[in-house]
Amino acid sequence: MRHFFPLLFALQMTSLSFVQSQKQLLTPELLWKVGRVTLEAVSPDGQYAVYSVQRFDIEKNQGVKTLYIVHLQTLETRPLTDPSEGSASDAVFHPSGQRVGFLRNRRLWEVGITGGKAYLVADIEMEGFAYSPTGRHLLFIQRVKFEPTTTERYPDLPKATGRVYDNLFYRHWQSWYDYHHANIFYISYRNGRVFGSPINIMNEPYDSPLRPLGGMEQITWSPDGRFIVYTCRKLKGTAESLSTNSDLYLYELASGRTLNITEGMPGYDQDPIFSPDGRYLAWKSMEKAGYEADRTRIMVLDTYTNDRWELTEGWKYEANRPQWASDSKSLYFLSSNDYTYQIYQITLEGRKIRRITNGLHDYTKVLVAGDRLVASRVSMTHPPEIFLVNPQNGQSLQISHATAEVWNNILPAKVERRTVKTTDGKDMNVWLVLPPEFDPRKKYPALLYCQGGPQSPLSQSFSFRWNLQLMASQGYVVIAPCRRGMPGGPEGQDWNAAISGDWGGQAMRDLLSAVDAAAQEPFIDANRMAAVGASFGGYSVFWLAGNHQKRFKAFIAHCGMFNTVSWYGTTEELFFANHDLGGPYWEKPGDPAWTTFSPHTYVKNWDTPILIFHNELDFRVPISEGLQAFQAAQLLGVPSRLVVFPDEGHWMTKPQNSIMWQREFFGWLEQYLKAP
């Protein structure tokens, strides 16, 4: 038989080459055809999981979410909702486990786990909901108006469009304050119907969940249905813009009394979750006031003794998305100590931490299903899918395949790690994303990817906006350094915190160290390099444009900070600016935050083509920053282009806008990084 081995090998290689030849490079249009998978819920008995898949119609410029249910033993999967009837989201299992509730057009619907026709439960507008564990009540979120609108102030001026504000936080992320706040209500519920009148448990001009990024994970029922615990920052206006101090409030249904159970804890406290036996309440907490990137801890309250303690004390890394094990003796959480987010377990007794999973990927959400875990997982080269994880040995099994139709036909990029010495002698992790069908004998142009944040992780995440595989698929090697300010490194929180107060210092030198090391790679053309980034990554691009010393041939900045003084005067979450820049510019006018760390001070050195994106609804980094940068480039005679989107905020969210953005992005690179 050995005479057939060469022939068999040749046939296998020919078959592999044929399969590869049928695949195609990732394009912006294909990226928008990929289904976007979200893990929604697990049934009370741990037998089923529900996930949603959002698919976009580029021509219609909109997306629709469909719910799917999977049996965790047989892995049989079927749709629960019909996309022709509209989007379905926010799925929650009824306590019986036999029905799934979901929102469509902000109304609560239910459908049986075997499928069939969905029916309307409550014709009440909701922004989120949760069944009580007893099935006797339903809580939901609804926006309530607490202040008069312009028309109510001036009824004789019905066409007046002015807004009136007496405090800060008059706008946030991409929305102007509209005199409404999200409050929590509950109502009696039986067998798929609601009865009586809703009761507002807050009736205060504060938001729960926290706006705009908080969800129903910030609110929970006690297992006996007697209490609701919710997250709220009970500050308003200017005080709210200066503080991260959210607390957990316990509301008793029988008496209507509310108790602040995190009083005296000055940082973020959120995401409460009761142990299955009802004795313990755990939540995610940050210790420091005004520091939004502080280390996340797991706190525990013993409801029998009222003792409160940090369960993760001594753990120098993040502890995110805590979930109780079924026996109430331990919790699972997500953390990173090698720039990938993995699943960990910590015991209540002895506080022993055990890493469960490994691999070049990120777990982004984990839910408990009896003696198993259901989790969503991504990597730089694969979009989110759902996996079943064995908590004993970390073995995983993919149970959703919503991205396969498109992604299985995409030529894969390759991700490699490098360790680069920084100018102060530290070891820095750098990701290299190599083009599909990479040939080390060739010379490739390269992109320095500057991460935002500035304390956002650069792990194995998958972005539908700044997609590194998409960049590599256009023929670029992507250099993605985990500079100072990024969680997940061996130094833990110290590495993350090092960027605060030093934006234009060591972090920028880290970026240059990564570029200089990459330039030594034989497959990188050091004469064809560009720097690209958004938010703090855009700040980095603007700063590098005045300090790169001819390293780059082109720059691209999206919603970046150009002038730290003007940015401080127009951004909204001032607790972030105060912590990272040291307080208002008028208190320390000569501080580096306002001088040498501000990119505008180096604009006289700009001499390299720059593309500037900015969005009119971006209130975190207002559009004036992009306009200043473009105006300076034009007056200096630097080849430059400004692309503005009037209906987008800090991120690109609409299909056609995003595709236009990507075409401009890659068109600019093609123009200035093409082969000589």
Give the per-residue pLDDT at 676: 55
pLDDT-above-90 percentage for the chain: 94
Is residue 6 predicted with pLDDT exceeding 90? Answer: no
This prediction has a pTM of 0.95
- Binned at pLDDT 50, 70 and 90, residue 115 comes out as confident
CA distance 122 to 140: 11
Which spans in 599-645 are helix H?
A: 624-635
Contact 317, 344 (CB under 8 A): no
Query: Residue 576: which of 294, 267, 291 has the closest Cα?
Result: 291
Is residue 580 predicted with pLDDT exceeding 70? Answer: yes
Contact 417, 431 (CB under 8 A): yes
Is residue 656 predicted with pLDDT exceeding 80? Answer: yes
Contact 475, 33 (CB under 8 A): no
Kindly list the distances between the CA atom of residue 80 and the CA atoms of 101, 104, 306, 527, 590, in Å, as whole numbers in the listed order: 11, 13, 42, 54, 61
Point out the catalytic residue in the list 535, 540, 598, 658.
Answer: 535
Is residue 11 predicted with pLDDT exceeding 70? Answer: no
Give the per-residue pLDDT at 18: 47
Across 486-522, b (16+ Cβ under 10 Å) vs e yields: bbbbebbbebbbbbbebbbebbbbbbbbbbebbeebe
**pLDDT, tens digit, for every residue of 526-542?**
999 999 999 999 999 99
Is residue 649 predicted with pLDDT exceeding 70? Answer: yes
CA-derived radius of gyration, the chain: 26
**pLDDT, tens digit, for every residue of 380-418?**
999 999 999 999 999 999 999 999 999 999 999 999 999
- 671 sits in the region (left: phi over 0; alpha: psi -120 to 50; else beta) called alpha
Contact 638, 612 (CB under 8 A): no
CA distance 534 to 453: 9
Judged by DSSP in three states, 577 sits in helix
| Segment 94-109 mean pLDDT | 98
CA distance 657 to 201: 40
CA distance 310 to 321: 15
Across 142-169, b (16+ Cβ under 10 Å) vs e yields: beeeeeeeeeeeeeeeeeeeeeeeeebb
Could you count the other beta carbons within 10 Å of the beta carbon of residue 259?
12
Is residue 15 predicted with pLDDT exceeding 60? Answer: no
**pLDDT, tens digit, for every residue of 270-302?**
999 999 999 999 999 999 999 999 999 999 999
- Binned at pLDDT 50, 70 and 90, residue 22 comes out as confident
| Segment 207-224 mean pLDDT | 96
State CA 502 to chain mean position distance: 24
DSSP secondary structure letters along 491-510: TTHHHHHTTTT-TTTHHHHH
Give the per-residue pLDDT at 513: 98
Cα angle at 492 between 420 and 334, to 5 degrees? 110
Give the per-residue pLDDT at 10: 47
Judged by DSSP in three states, 594 sits in helix
Q: Which residues contact 575 (CB under 8 A, 6 or more apart)?
A: 241, 242, 243, 244, 290, 291, 292
- Nearest-10 crossing angle of helices 506-518, 536-545: 70
Point out the catalytic residue in the list 271, 294, 525, 618.
Answer: 618
Contact 222, 213 (CB under 8 A): no
DSSP secondary structure letters along 430-477: EEEEEPTT--TTS-EEEEEEE--TTT---SS---SSS-HHHHHHTT-E
**pLDDT, tens digit, for every residue of 62-80?**
999 999 999 999 999 999 9
| Segment 452-462 mean pLDDT | 95
State CA 378 to chain mean position distance: 13
Residue with tokens 């294909």: 30
Q: What is the 3-state secondary structure (H, E, C) of 48-114?
A: EEEEEEEEEECCCCEEEEEEEEEECCCCCEEECCCHHHCCCEEEEECCCCCEEEEEECCEEEEEECC
Give the per-residue pLDDT at 20: 56
State CA 600 to chain mean position distance: 29
Query: Residue 625: which of 539, 553, 518, 547 has the closest Cα?
Result: 539
DSSP secondary structure letters along 130-193: EE-TTSSEEEEEEEEE-S--HHHH-TT-TT------SSS-SEETTEE--SEEEEEEEEEEETTE
Position 252, amino acid: E
Q: What is the mean pLDDT of the chain?
A: 95
Query: Residue 109: which of 71, 65, 164 has the closest Cα?
Result: 65
- Binned at pLDDT 50, 70 and 90, residue 315 comes out as very high
**pLDDT, tens digit, for every residue of 484-508?**
999 998 888 999 999 999 999 999 9
**pLDDT, tens digit, for every residue of 587-637?**
999 999 999 999 999 999 999 999 999 999 999 999 999 999 999 999 999
* 447 phi and psi angles, rounded to 5 deg: -120, 125
**DSSP secondary structure code for residue 3 in this structure:** G
Q: Where are the domains of the chain?
A: 35-123, 411-579+607-673
CA distance 651 to 174: 10
Could you count the other beta carbons within 10 Å of the beta carbon of residue 192?
15
**Catalytic residue flag (residue 650):** yes
Residue with tokens 């297992």: 223
**How is residue 145 written in tokens?**
């108006």
**Catalytic residue flag (residue 494):** no
Contact 557, 542 (CB under 8 A): yes
Contact 416, 429 (CB under 8 A): no
**How is residue 459 written in tokens?**
């792990």
Burial of 449 (0-12, 13-18, 19+ CB in 10 A): buried
CATH architecture classification, 411-579+607-673? 3-Layer(aba) Sandwich (3.40)
Give the per-residue pLDDT at 675: 55
CA distance 108 to 127: 10
